[in-house]
Amino acid sequence: MKIYSSLSRKKEEFVPIEPPKVTMYACGLTPQNHPHLGHAVAAIRFSILRRYLRYKGFEVCFVENATDIDDKIIVRSEELQIPPKEVAEKYLKEYLDAQRQLGLPHPDFYPRVTEYIDKIIVYVEQLIEKGFAYSTPEGDVYFEVLKKEDYGKLSGRITDDLISGTRVNVETNKKNILDFALWKNDNTPNASWDSPWGKGRPGWHIECSVMSNDLLGETIDIHCGGLDLIFPHHENEIAQCEAHNGVQFAKYWVHCGLLVIDGRKMSKSLGNFFTITDSLEKYGKELITFVILRHHYRSPIDFNDKLFKDNLNALRHFYQFFDPELLALENLDFTGNEDTEKLTTAFELAMDDDFNSPIALTVFSEHLKIAQKYSEEGKTEEAIAIQKCMINLGRVLGLFTPDYSLERLEREVLKFQQLSLNVSELISLEEVVGLVKQRDQAKLDKDYQKSDALRNELTAHGIKLLDNATTGSAWQFLVN
Q: 43 near 97, Cβ under 8 Å?
A: no
C-alpha span between 84 and 87 (Å, rounded)? 5
C-alpha span between 1 and 10 (Å, rounded)? 13
Q: Which of 452, 453, 459 is nearest to 432 (CA)?
A: 459
Q: What proportion of the chain, given as a percentage, has pLDDT over 90?
A: 88
C-alpha span between 34 and 39 (Å, rounded)? 10
Same domain, residue pair 303 and 334: yes
DSSP-derived letter for residue 379 is -
| C-alpha neighbours within 13 Å on the C-beta side of residue 195 | 28
Mean pLDDT throughout 340-368? 97
Mean pLDDT throughout 240-265? 93
C-alpha span between 206 and 203 (Å, rounded)? 6
> Does 143 fall in a domain?
yes
C-alpha span between 141 and 264 (Å, rounded)? 37
Same domain, residue pair 355 and 249: no
Residue 268: which pLDDT band, with cuts at 50, 70 and 90? low
Supply the pLDDT for residue 165. 47
Q: Is the previous residue joined to 402 through a cis bond, with omega within 30 degrees of 0?
A: no
Same domain, residue pair 212 and 296: no
Q: What is the DSSP string of 18-67?
A: BTTEEEEEE-----SS--BHHHHHHHHHHHHHHHHHHHTT-EEEEEE-B-
Same domain, residue pair 47 and 191: yes
> Does 269 fall in a domain?
no
Mean pLDDT throughout 384-395? 96
Which domain covers residue 429, as residue numbers?
A: 421-477
> Does 197 fall in a domain?
yes
Supply the pLDDT for residue 335. 87
Q: Dump pLDDT digits (tens) for 109-133.
A: 999 999 999 999 999 999 999 999 9
SS (H, E, C) 145-206: HHHCCCCCCCCCCCHHHHHHCCCCCCCCCCCCCCCEEEEEECCCCCCCECCCCCCEEECCCH
C-alpha span between 60 and 48 (Å, rounded)? 12
Q: Dump pLDDT digits (tens) for 273-294.
A: 789 999 999 999 999 999 999 9
Is a pLDDT exceeding 80 seen at residue 244? yes
Same domain, residue pair 361 and 472: no
Same domain, residue pair 48 and 161: yes
DSSP-derived letter for residue 113 is G
SS3 label, residue 11: strand
Return the minimum-mean-pLDDT range out of 299-303, 329-333, 417-421, 469-473: 469-473
Return the minimum-mean-pLDDT range out of 42-46, 182-186, 264-268: 264-268
> Does 275 fall in a domain?
no
What is the count of structural domains for the chain? 3
C-alpha span between 343 and 149 (Å, rounded)? 49
Same domain, residue pair 325 and 449: no
Mean pLDDT throughout 304-323? 92
Q: Supply φ then ψ for residue 62, to 5 degrees.
A: -110, 130
Mean pLDDT throughout 38-63? 97
> Does 412 fall in a domain?
no
Q: Supply φ then ψ for residue 266, to 5 degrees.
A: -65, 130
Q: How many helices (H) and strands (E) does the chain have?
A: 17, 15
Q: Dump pLDDT digits (tens) for 403-434.
A: 999 999 999 999 999 999 999 999 999 999 99
Supply the pLDDT for residue 419. 93
C-alpha span between 229 and 322 (Å, rounded)? 40
C-alpha span between 135 and 208 (Å, rounded)? 20
SS3 label, residue 13: strand
Supply the pLDDT for residue 161. 59
Mean pLDDT throughout 443-453? 95
Q: Which of 377, 406, 435 is the last residue of a domain?
A: 406
Residue 472: which pLDDT band, with cuts at 50, 70 and 90? confident
Q: 408 near 63, Cβ under 8 Å?
A: no
Nearest-5° angle of CA 128, CA 134, CA 138? 130
> Does 133 fall in a domain?
yes
**CATH code assigned at 384:** 1.20.120.640
Residue 480: which pLDDT band, with cuts at 50, 70 and 90? confident
Same domain, residue pair 180 and 223: yes
**CATH code assigned at 88:** 3.40.50.620
Q: 172 near 230, Cβ under 8 Å?
A: no
Same domain, residue pair 241 and 294: no
C-alpha span between 51 and 104 (Å, rounded)? 10
Residue 173: which pLDDT band, with cuts at 50, 70 and 90? confident
Q: Dump pLDDT digits (tens) for 67-89.
A: 999 999 999 999 999 999 999 99
Same domain, residue pair 204 and 129: yes
Mean pLDDT throughout 141-156? 96
Nearest-5° angle of CA 210, CA 84, CA 278? 95
Q: Supply φ then ψ for residue 305, to 5 degrees.
A: -60, -35
C-alpha span between 348 and 8 (Å, rounded)? 24
Mean pLDDT throughout 254-260? 94
> Does 448 fall in a domain?
yes
Supply the pLDDT for residue 113. 97
> Does 413 fall in a domain?
no
Same domain, residue pair 22 and 90: yes
Is a pLDDT exceeding 90 seen at residue 467? no
Contact partners, residue 404, CB within 8 Å, separation at least 6: 285, 286, 319, 327
C-alpha span between 114 and 193 (Å, rounded)? 10
Rg (the chain; Cα; Å) = 26
Same domain, residue pair 6 and 150: yes
